Amino acid sequence: MSQAPTPAAAPAKRPAGRGGRNLELSDELKAYKGVWVFIEHDRGHVHSVSWELIGEARKLADTLGCPVSAILLGGPDEPLEKFAAEAFTFGADKAYIMKDPVLKGYRNEPFTKGMTDLVNKYQPEIFLLGATSMGRDLAGSVATTLLTGLTADCTELKIDPTSKALAATRPTFGGSLYCTIMTLAYRPQMATVRPRVMLMPRADASRTGEITYDTLGMIETQVVTKMLDFIADANSNKINLPYADVIVSGGKGLKNPENFKLVFELARVLGGEVGSTRPCVQAGWVEADRQVGQTGKTVRPKLYIAAGISGAIQHRVGCEAADVIVAINTDVNAPIFEFAHYGIVGNAMQVLPALTQAFAAHLALRSRQVA
């Protein structure tokens, strides 16, 4: 392990502003190498999106022929070395650790300073963060401070074969189109990805890596915000769509909230969660935490049943990674049938009760056989 407490280097000179439309990378910025991932942790636990991004960073780095680094900021008593060791098993080669009392508990100002100091000193070409509440807050301030580009809520990350730049794909125009964005003349290239969009990589316990320590150089009196207390959200674990194995979702094709109860009944029998489209949330049929799609949750269940959902791209981006998608719709030309694995052309108000009854009978029979 190496110790590196030296002062952070000055920010690299940036190319001409928007008016100049400079699309060439300066010689100074060509020196930026490596793929970084911010490891988000809280109360002793790492957010799983960090490991998903390590897996994705590994693919990008293998294409570029460069290392993957995990970035960890926290308090002196937090187990950052343990998190770094776990990052190595998922594909990281290096870890940069910054410990300071000011970094105990997330606050934007000290985290932004720590992160930008590390970037200016070690010069990564790509920097990935989870599109969580913390990640979104931090990514925006870091990108603004570094005067670089940031592509938010990406659904795909690749390396452009011609420019070797990060090609970050995300939905746009209200989710009706996908666009691919490249930051050609600025470094690092930054992107955020929502949880469950990327696959969780397999851990390799034999992998190890190198840890570099750095210092923040900031004292508490320099931070405007103060953390007085932490109060957990009592409702935070009641609806956990992104990590459900079975999800039954309903759309406006169900006509009214009374019919939407059929979705809850089937989900209850299957031991799954209930999802919905944005129009159902806007109509007040279900809570916002149940929305699946571009402006809701991204899910990756083993089984996704979509009842009365047309399958517009806004919803598709949130559920298409499911292992099996079963669509129920009266319209044989509904877009959802283009990506569903199984389709039932029929009235969801009739099909859902039939499925609920059939599954209940089958599960009851199976439980009796096991007993």
Please state, in angstroms and as integers, the Cα–Cα distance from residue 246 to each residue in 239, 241, 266, 267, 303, following that order.
13, 9, 11, 8, 5
97 is in an annotated binding site: no
Residue 253 is assigned to a ligand binding site: no
358 is in an annotated binding site: no
Is 315 annotated to bind ligand? Answer: yes
22 among annotated binding-site residues: no
> 35 — phi, psi (to 5°)?
-115, 125
Angle at the Cα of 81 from the Cα atoms of 71 and 107, rounded to 5 degrees: 50
Nearest to 57 by CA among 108, 124, 116: 124
Cα 221 from Cα 150, distance rounded (Å): 30
235 is in an annotated binding site: no
Strands 273-276 and 303-307: unpaired
47 is in an annotated binding site: no
Residue 314, annotated as binding a ligand: yes
Q: In one letter, which amino acid is 119? A: V
Q: What angle do CA 21, 24, 27 make, to 5 degrees?
A: 135
If one counts every other C-beta atom within 10 angstroms of the C-beta of residue 241, the result is 24
290 is in an annotated binding site: no
Q: Is 293 annotated as a binding residue?
A: yes
Judge whether 309 is annotated as a binding position.
yes
Tell me whether residue 55 is annotated as binding.
Answer: no
Q: Is 282 assigned a ligand-binding role in the annotation?
A: no
The annotation status of 120 as a binding-site residue, yes or no, is no
List binding-site positions for FAD. Answer: 277-278, 291-295, 308-315, 329
Q: Mark the binding-site residues, compressed into ranges.
A: 277-278, 291-295, 308-315, 329
